[in-house]
Amino acid sequence: MLNGSNILITGGTGSFGKKFVQFVIGHYKPEKLIIFSRDELKQFEMQQRWNTKEYPFIRYFLGDVRDRDRLKRAFSGIDYVVHAAALKQVPAAEYNPQECIKTNILGAMNIIDAALTCGVKKVVALSTDKACNPINLYGATKLCSDKLFVAANVYGGFEGTKFSVVRYGNVVGSRGSVVPFFKERMKTGKLPITDARMTRFWLTLSQGAEFVLKCIELGQGGEIFIPKISSMKITELAKAICPDCEMEIIGIRPGEKLHEMLISEDEARNAVEFEECFVIQPHEHKRKKLLAIKDNGKPCPEGFLYSSDKNPVFMSIDELKKLLVEIEDDFSIERNRWSLKDIPL
């Protein structure tokens, strides 16, 4: 489906964006692949790996999702949009709420408007487990964004732009995540732990990129796609990174949960389970169950919820160690060659 098409990714110079671009280059032959982001330095650095001479179908487009006119110019002739641009650091969002709202909510509105105006075929927006029963501003803005993208299908109709959402957990080793933070603190001999009971959903950049590509194909409009992924205990991760380090309990930070959730009990009433993922169906009755009917999904049982502490699949310390070795050079994309099948789900 992506061969010969025009694809654009917002936030394309981020951790996910680089992995997504690597997957598209490795598996498809697009007519154009446009990296849309606001940081000229990151674009320059990315061009050192994927320059337009060697990869003539790649374009680097400076712009901000807050700028609706710039988005409309960028979306001209585009078939598929992956919306990965966001302000995602929880403490920064708590301190700068207006800026987070401008990017994550108003930016989502601009994406929708530009996609509808330019006749984009499909938009897949990236979300987060923090959007499910949010307790911090970042999660609240992403919940608003999710609602906007699901509702946007009413404006697109059945023949117009289709909008879907992908919601997943923490990405191993991405910028600002706990892995690089722990590795830096190893030098002190102490690893700060907010709470020894804490659990998190865990997936790799490769898992995330591959799942998003699948959802571009599967999306009928209005779905929230949730992959089946592993959980991990924060104390187990600390032991996997530095077994000799002392764990220092520092207490939960503002806006932080003990356990994250990907599907709440209330959302589960509209959720369908498939072999590799869950799908929260839209409330809009004409679209509801389109995907379930097509692919024989089964409704989630009453009382079901998908949270990191009740996940049936947890990673052991040995599995975490293996994963950490594999992702060590994930930002140096030249050397990263492992795939989804290597990671236990």
Separation CA 337–CA 330 (nearest Å): 9
Contact 83, 166 (CB under 8 A): no
| Token output for 209 | 């990129």
| Token output for 285 | 């009755």
Instruction: Give me the catalytic one of 130, 162, 233, 257.
Output: 130
Contacts of 277 by beta carbon, 8 Å cutoff, 6+ apart: 211, 225, 226, 227, 228
Among residues 279, 274, 262, the alpha carbon closest in space to that of 164 is found at 279
Separation CA 27–CA 30 (nearest Å): 10
Contact 217, 80 (CB under 8 A): no
Strand partners, 192: 248
Strand partners, 6: 32
Strand residues in the chain grouped as ranges (E): 6-10, 32-37, 58-62, 80-83, 122-126, 162-166, 170-171, 190-193, 199-203, 224-227, 230-233, 246-249, 261-263, 271-273, 277-280, 298-299, 306-307
| Token output for 200 | 């998190």
- Say whether 130 is catalytic: yes
Separation CA 104–CA 165 (nearest Å): 14
Residues classed as catalytic: 130
